[in-house]
Each structure stands twice: as structure tokens, then as C-alpha cells.
Amino acid sequence: MRVDLNSDVGESFGPWRLGETEELLGIVTSANVACAFHAGDPRVMEDVVRRAAQTGTGIGAHVGYPDLVGFGRRAMDLSHREIVTDVLYQIGALYAFCRSQGVPLRHVKAHGALYNQGERDLRVARALVEGVARARLGLVLVAPEGSAMAQAAQEWGVPVAREAFCDRAYRADGTLVPRREAGAVRTDPAEVVEQAVRLATQGKVRTIDGQEVQVGCDTLCIHGDTPGAAALARAVRSALEAAGVEVRPFPGPGEVGQG
Amino acid sequence: MRVDLNSDVGESFGPWRLGETEELLGIVTSANVACAFHAGDPRVMEDVVRRAAQTGTGIGAHVGYPDLVGFGRRAMDLSHREIVTDVLYQIGALYAFCRSQGVPLRHVKAHGALYNQGERDLRVARALVEGVARARLGLVLVAPEGSAMAQAAQEWGVPVAREAFCDRAYRADGTLVPRREAGAVRTDPAEVVEQAVRLATQGKVRTIDGQEVQVGCDTLCIHGDTPGAAALARAVRSALEAAGVEVRPFPGPGEVGQG
Amino acid sequence: MRVDLNSDVGESFGPWRLGETEELLGIVTSANVACAFHAGDPRVMEDVVRRAAQTGTGIGAHVGYPDLVGFGRRAMDLSHREIVTDVLYQIGALYAFCRSQGVPLRHVKAHGALYNQGERDLRVARALVEGVARARLGLVLVAPEGSAMAQAAQEWGVPVAREAFCDRAYRADGTLVPRREAGAVRTDPAEVVEQAVRLATQGKVRTIDGQEVQVGCDTLCIHGDTPGAAALARAVRSALEAAGVEVRPFPGPGEVGQG
Amino acid sequence: MRVDLNSDVGESFGPWRLGETEELLGIVTSANVACAFHAGDPRVMEDVVRRAAQTGTGIGAHVGYPDLVGFGRRAMDLSHREIVTDVLYQIGALYAFCRSQGVPLRHVKAHGALYNQGERDLRVARALVEGVARARLGLVLVAPEGSAMAQAAQEWGVPVAREAFCDRAYRADGTLVPRREAGAVRTDPAEVVEQAVRLATQGKVRTIDGQEVQVGCDTLCIHGDTPGAAALARAVRSALEAAGVEVRPFPGPGEVGQG
């Protein structure tokens, strides 16, 4: 039994701080680094990559829509080509900092509205994946099992690390309860920890209406922009290790045994 | 006798067109591609790289200050680290498009105010060169002989392609007559062509006050944002070839015989 | 019989030129000035307002989504409040240049995706109109009769100048044939001129399937970003005047007799 | 005896929070509101203006260079016209929110590098003041006595509120000790309070080398971006009131008795 823990980091910008990047990089095993389209700037990117290199954290590009003031959370109607080229651009920008530190860039994860649209909209998902594939870096896509992103990745032969959530409620069909609905987000640390362990050890969650469903889980998302994020991440990691789960990065480019 | 011809291309942005990129890419041998800080966007970058790949034109990153509305032409007081990381970011972003097209990224040239400050200000020049070196891509820096940029490149072991100008007047010390002074820019095509040939064949220019001085010249800058740029580029190239000069890219990363 | 001619102007940005603003400002009677969210910058805005003041052209704010690289043409999912405040901001910014030149700001017109969404989506239309109303400048909204924008304006008591198009094909229900459909845009100058005269003199158009329908028309849109825009505008104006139509601005803030 | 207390507020942006705007608006009497060039966005601006209207705080435009990632703190070499038009644009944008809330816009203060350059560089100062004057809103300029900004304001007939600093050390010539020098910033609350009272009651400061000099003081700057800013502001205000100083806004547009 093994699982990766991923967290969104590097979401500061210019004079503004956001998140608990510094602490999280000692706990999670994969870091989704903002690439200056929705958050982050070249200094923040350098800091995060250096720190991730020191802690042995796997580095990925957290690619988003070009909407800084909206933090990439507002849906935008971009063409296929606009998404492909925006994704390539962001991957390359972050890759330069990885080269500079002598560490690999391993994965890509969509951010905010791009992630949300990529879950269900195959047109958006295919553009995202084309950008990932065309970088020719053997990058892994972090995406939920069964999502349009996962399907597009299969079409392109892009490896997927199946992402699951320990702080979100699931429905019986294995999809998440939308955030606007009651009970969508789990805030009780004990429940979060329990769901993490169940996902990592059994590949299952208990749904919002009490059923058990299978949810593929190579990597658990640890939200980083909530107060106390680092403390919760630490609790999740400890519980996983106590349950005999090996917490380490999913296999990266060129590695055997992709989950 | 050989020389490279370089031109700034890919300076369109969003709905706005600028320059004669399409025509120039069949004439010049090195393309300085804007990286979306002072001009260019991911679509423009992809178009230019694809076209340069088709025409066998050497590709370089034209790195500038983050000042789109000012086209990177306004001096900015950036810290050493801000320049290093902005340069790394831009190099990486363009490199992704090169990977996507299966062609190498070969060089870097500073744009606008960054170029101007890099000519004389060793602090700026060192930051620029550090960004180039830290990308670890063996990139060549395009810069005038004797400039602060050339000195910083030597300190870092970054190879330099010495740039000279066929449409600018020189002073007796080998530096350019500043643009604001009378006679700074040569507009007579015959004079431009003559200076190009003299630079490529003899490594000399006739200065504004009639002397002859040595000017190292591995690559000739062909300005691309003036009307008729492509026609002038064609005339320069024809005259060089008629004079027995081989017009081809300067040696790139890992190639022997850097001039 | 009277009609206003409006055109989108001031769509240059930084070093990039777009459109035929200079020529159009001597022909049309209302200018929709970009406010630096989707196009335009403070220098462009000042130039346009000064020139409009000289030619007696009515000045309006052409408000758009904050998406420069996409030219405001990409739909964005903004909240009510985001639209209201973005609109207020843009109106104020342009108003400062009007004050500086001693001329009134008279109207607002939505640009690109905001216009398109405002035609049908009452939520977007209400946010746009709230921004216009809250500026407390008595501004007129330029919008098609029967659109969601026109309805929202009525709710808020914001006066409307009904806009019609001389170069677009209409359907039997009085709405435009979508651009992606064949025959949507009229390119034959004679047809454009004829539709302009019919709209101004009879308030009617001949639809794409040959019927005649009523279309309210206080102001005719003259597209300014196509080559030859100024020449076509001149032809339309001449034909209107020859047909006895008075070409002048629609009544502005505080004026009696709003059409 | 009376004095105004001014503070920089509204420096949040998109998802990022900065400063103690909410608390400060109940303590200081003038608010310098960022206008989205170096910080702030239309939502932040609306929030600040509404809150300032509720608390009776005087509202001013905190105008800066167009450099969000650098927070307007990096010197930029803008032309006269670029500064004038950038200032006009920002003033207008904020003015729209004041109109919307039914409160006046009263003053302008330069931010960051624009302020620093405006202190000594008459070319920059004149451009700033021309922007203020051309808005034709009777705005007061907040600037130190003896600065280039104050001189330019006198040339243009723009009223000045003389700004002094209670947390900065002064030199014998009445200018500030530069930040990079030892002792430039006073951090002992007792010293800050003492300097505030001395400035407001006697128009004097004790310099870094122990002398007493006259410093004109219509308004005291309270820094808002340091932790504990609000608490310190409260202490300064209490001490001023205890010393018999009336703490209220400097006279605004059209008011008699400009200090």
C-alpha cells in the first residue's frame, strides 16, 4: 500500500502571501506549483522549486486560466488552441526553474475553473492533455478517475495519477458533491483523516448517503489554502503511516510501476 | 567568411499584429522570439517557432521587462533576483514550444530597456547572464563585443555571438551613436547594405566621423519592426552572399567552432 | 428622421495599432472608447477623447471583460458584483479624460463577450446596467431593442439608444443571424448602405429569408476594425443624408427628446 | 491645533489580503486608496470607499506605477505623458466609486516609486501634478513640504496637504533619513507617538542627530502595511487628542481654510 499526498503551493504573488507552502513542503510528497497565470510569480516559483528540491517533494505544474484577479476560478471560454498553448507556456516556465535546481518536473494538475471544466468537458480536457503531451517531458497528469481529463489522457497515452479527496464528500456515482451543496466539504479533522486512510488502504469512500464506493486513489489532495492546512496534512500523513501506508510520490516520468 | 542575420520576431499580441515575422523567417538565420513579457503571447510564440522550424531558422528567447503597455522599452529598476528569475521564466516558456516542435532553443537576446541597460550596467548584465546560465541549456548570448553583457557572459562561461548593426552609426570607440542624436540611424538602404558587407567581410565599420574601427560581428541585427524590413533584409542577405559571405546561424549549444 | 452612427474606437494598445479611429471620428457621431480592459490604454484614451472633442463626436465607454490577450471576446463567468464594479471602474477611468477635455461622457456600450452575453442573459445585463446607473452620470446605454440589456435598462430607468446593424443579417424575430452561420455578415457595400437607409428611414430590415421586420434604430453600428471601415462609414453617412436623414448624436444625459 | 491622519488602504488584490484597512478606516481621517495599478481591484476599491463613506473618512487616490507584481515600488522611466495619463486614469476609476457612494474624492497621494521620484525629480512631480490638475476635481495633493511635488503643485495652483511622518527619522535639512540607513524607521511606539504630538502641536521634529527642525504638517502618515498598524494608529490618535489636537480631515475641494 502506497499513496502520494499532493498540495497546491506557490500561490503567493508579488507582495501578497497565500497558503502554507513552506510547512506543506515538508509533509506532502507532490507539490502543484502555480505558474503565474492565476497565481505565483517567478520569485515565488523559484522559492517553491528550491524548497521542494530540498525536501524531495515531487514537482508539478499547476496550470490555470490567465486570470490573476479572479485566481483562475472563473470559467473562461477559451478555444482548444488557446488552452493547449497556455498549458505549454506554463509547463515550460516552471520547467526552467526545475532545470535550474537540477530536479525533474514530474506532473501537471489543472487549477480552479480549468480543473472543473476538465472534469466533465472533453473538449477542454483534450486541450489540456495535448498541452501536457506536446511538452514531451513524460509528465503525469493528476486527475480524478473517470473524469474527462482521465479519458483524454488515455487517448494521448499520458499517464494519470488518480486523484482522490479526503476532505470532500462523494456521491454514489463516485463524483464529488458540488461545493454549493450542504455537506460538500468535510471540516471535521477526524473525518478527513478517516477518509484518507480508507481511500489509501481500501480504495473506497463512504458516500454522503452512507454507501461505499470504489474511488481510484494514487494521490490524495491536501488543500493548502485553508488555515491550519499544514496541521491537517501532518495528521493525515501520520494516520496513513500508522495504518501501514507508504507515503511517497507516485512514479514519475520514465519510472516503472505507474499506479 | 560567415555571418548570422538575426531579427526580432513574434512581436504581435492578442488581436494586434506587429512586424513582418512571416517574411523575415525565410531570410534571417536567427529569430529572437518575444516571450509574452513585453510582446508575444502563447499563440504567437507557437506560430513563430513552428515557422522557424520549417525554415531552419535558429530560435532564441528575446527576453524583456514585464511591461507590455510600454513594450519593454522603459527602464525599470529591478533587483538582481527579479531579473534572473524573469529571464529564466521567459526562457522556459519559449523552450516548451521548441520541445513541442522538436527544435532546439539556441540563444538569448535582451530586448529594449533590458538590452540598453545590459550594454553598460554590469549589475543588470550579470543578472541577465545568470538567468541564461541557470537554464542549463547551453544557450548562446547575443550581445555587442565590449558590452557589460559580453563581460558578464565571459565570467559565467556563457558563449557569446557578437552582434553588430548595419543600420546604426558607430562612434570611434566602437559604441553606437545614441538614437536621439542626429545620424544615429542609417535609413539609406545602400548604406545599410554596405555597412553589412564591410562588417561581415572585414569586421570593420566607418564611424560617424569618417574613421574605420574594428567591430566584432558574428551576427548582424536586422530590425524587423520598420516598414519594409523584409525587403531590406533580403537586400542585405543578397549583397552578403554576392560578396562571398556564407549566411548561416552562429554555432549553437554544443556545437564546435563558436565564433 | 434622424439617426446616430456609432463606432468602436481607441482599440490600439501600447505599441500596437488597430482600426481607423482617426478617420472614423470625422464621420460617425458617437464613439465607443475602449477603457483598457480589453483594449486601449491611457494614452490611446486621451488621444481619442481629444479628437472626439474636436470633431464634436459623442463619447461613450466601451466596457469589456478584463481580458486583453483575448480582446474581451471570450465569455467569462463573472459574478454580478464583478461585472458591476468592472463597469464602474471603466466608466470612471474614461470620464477622467472627458473632464480633462471639458466634454461630457454620454453613453456606455458593452464590448465583445459582455455584449453577447448581455443580449440574452438577464443576469449579466442587470449587472452591466447597475454599473451604468451607479456611476450617476445620466449615461445612455447603447443596446438592441428587445435585448436583455434593454430590459435591464428599463428596470433601472437607464435611457437606451436602440442599436441596429447595417452589415449584419437579421432573422424574422428581429435578432441577428449568428456570425458562424452563412450570410451572417453583409460585405457588399451597396447592401450595407441600403440596409442603413431602410433602418433609419423606415425602422425596418429585410430578413435573411426575405421578410420585412421592424427594428428600432436610434443608432447604427459602424464596425471599425475591418479594412476600409472609414470608407464604408462615409458611404453610409452620405446615403443617409441624401435620403434626408439627419445624422447626429442621440440625445445624451439630461437632454430632452430621447429617441 | 488640528491635524489629519492618513493611511494607505485597499492594498488587497484578487484573492490576496494585505493591510488592516477595515480597522484603520475607523481611526485615520484620510484614506489613500489603491487604484488597481500597483494594488487594489474594483471590488477592493468599492469596499474601501463604502467603508470610508460610513466612517466619514476622507477619500483620496493612491496613484502608482503600472507594476502589480512589483507593488509599484520599482522605479520606472515613464515619459511625462505616460505619468499624466496614468494618473488621470486612476483618479477617474476611483472617482466612479465615490460617485456611486455619494461621497467626494478629496485628494491624491503618490505611491511607492512614484512618490519617491516625485520627492526629488521635478519632471516626475510636474507630470503627477498635471494629472491631478487636469481631472478638474479640485483635488488636494498630499506631499512633503519642500518636495518637488509641493513645488509643482504650487506652479499648477493645486492645493497641498503637507505630509509628515511620525515613524521616520528626519535629517537636519528636514528630509527623511533614507530607509537603507540605520535608524531610518522608528519602531518604538512611544517614540512614534511623541514625534506625532510634536509635529502636530509644534510643527517640529527632533532630528537623528538631536537637533530640532521645522516640518510643515497638515497630515501625518500612518503606515498601514505593518503588523499592528491599527493599534499604533489608535495610540497616535489618542495621544494627539489628549494633547488637545483636533484630529480631522484637512480641508478638501472647495473648502475654505486650507491648512
Q: What's the pLDDT score for residue D71?
A: 98
Shortest CA distance to C118 belongs to which of C157, C89, C160?
C160
Distance of CA B30 to the CA centre of its chain: 8
Three-state SS sequence of chain A: CEEEEEEEECCCECCECCCCHHHHCCCCCEEEEECCCCCCCHHHHHHHHHHHHHHCCEEEEEECCCCCCCCCCCCECCCHHHHHHHHHHHHHHHHHHHHHHCCCEEEEEECHHHHHHHHHCHHHHHHHHHHHHHCCCCCEEEECCCCHHHHHHHHHCCCEEEEEECCECECCCCCECCCCCCCCECCCHHHHHHHHHHHHHHCEEECCCCCEEECCCCEEEECCCCCCHHHHHHHHHHHHHHCCCEECCCCCCCCCCCC
Nearest CA in chain B to A101: B134
Q: What's the pLDDT score for residue B259?
A: 39
How high does pLDDT run on average in chain A?
95
Find out whether A205 and A213 touch, Cβ atoms under 8 Å: yes
Each residue of A65-84: pLDDT tens digit? 999 999 999 999 999 999 99
Residues of chain B with pLDDT under 50: 256-259
Nearest to A96 among B45, B46, B92 (CB): B92
Q: Which chain B residues are Cβ-neighbours of C227 within 8 angstroms?
A: none
Q: How many CB atoms lie within 10 A of CB D43?
A: 19
What cell does A153 get? Answer: 489522457
What percentage of chain D exceeds 90 in pLDDT? 88
Is B74's CB within 8 Å of D76's CB?
yes
Q: Which chain A residues are Cβ-neighbours of B137 within 8 angstroms?
A: 99
Give Cβ neighbours of residue C217 (< 8 Å, ≥ 6 apart).
Answer: C3, C162, C163, C164, C199, C200, C203
Tell whether the model's pLDDT for residue D225 goes beyond 80.
no
Q: What's the pLDDT score for residue B147?
A: 97
Tell whether the model's pLDDT for residue A175 goes beyond 50.
yes
Q: Chain C: list its partners (3+ Cβ pairs within 8 Å).
A: A, B, D
Give Cβ neighbours of residue C60 (< 8 Å, ≥ 6 apart).
Answer: C6, C30, C31, C32, C33, C105, C106, C107, C108, C109, C139, C140, C142
User: Region C147-159: what's the mean pLDDT?
Assistant: 98
Min Cα–Cα distance to chain C from A65, Å = 11
Each residue of D167-189: pLDDT tens digit? 999 999 988 998 889 999 988 99
Q: Which of C221-225, C247-251, D37-41, D160-164 has the lowest mean pLDDT?
A: C221-225
Cα distances (angstroms) measured from residue D106 to each of A159, B145, D254: 59, 54, 10
Name which of A76, A114, A117 to mutate to probe chain C: the one with the most chain C Cβ atoms within 10 A of its Cβ.
A76
Which is higher by pLDDT, C235 or B228? C235
Give Cβ neighbours of residue A207 (< 8 Å, ≥ 6 apart).
Answer: A169, A170, A171, A172, A213
Shortest CA distance to B18 belongs to which of C43, C69, C225, C18?
C18
Is C42's CB within 8 Å of D82's CB?
yes
Tell whether the model's pLDDT for residue C256 goes beyond 80.
no
Strand partners, C5: C220
Min Cα–Cα distance to chain C from D233, Å = 30
Each residue of D41-78: pLDDT tens digit? 999 999 999 999 999 999 999 999 999 999 999 999 99
The reply to whether the predicted model has a pTM over 0.95 is yes
Q: Which of A24-33, A34-43, C48-57, D227-236 has the lowest mean pLDDT?
A: D227-236
What cell does C116 get? Answer: 453577447
Min Cα–Cα distance to chain B from C9, Å = 14
- Give the integer Cα–Cα distance in Å for A258 and A44: 30
User: Region C118-145: what's the mean pLDDT?
Assistant: 98
Q: Which chain C residues are Cβ-neighbours of A78 within 8 angstroms?
A: 70, 74
Q: What's the pLDDT score for residue D259?
A: 39
What cell does A255 get? Answer: 519510472
What one-character DSSP code corresponds to residue B228? T
Find out whether C236 and C196 touch, Cβ atoms under 8 Å: yes
Each residue of A105-126: pLDDT tens digit? 999 999 999 999 999 999 999 9
Q: Which chain D residues are Cβ-neighbours of C79 within 8 angstroms?
A: none
Each residue of A228-256: pLDDT tens digit? 889 999 999 999 999 999 999 999 887 74
Tell whether the model's pLDDT for residue D18 goes beyond 80.
yes
Q: Which stretch, A176-190, C33-47, C163-177, D176-190, has highest mean pLDDT?
A: C33-47
Min Cα–Cα distance to chain A from B144, Å = 26
CA angle B63, B148, B116 (to 5 degrees): 50
Determine the angle formed by the axes of helices B112-120 and B122-134, rounding to 10 degrees: 110
Q: What's the pLDDT score for residue D82?
A: 98
Give Cβ neighbours of residue A15 (< 8 Å, ≥ 6 apart).
Answer: D18, D39, D71
Q: Which chain D residues are Cβ-neighbours of A71 within 8 angstroms?
A: 14-15
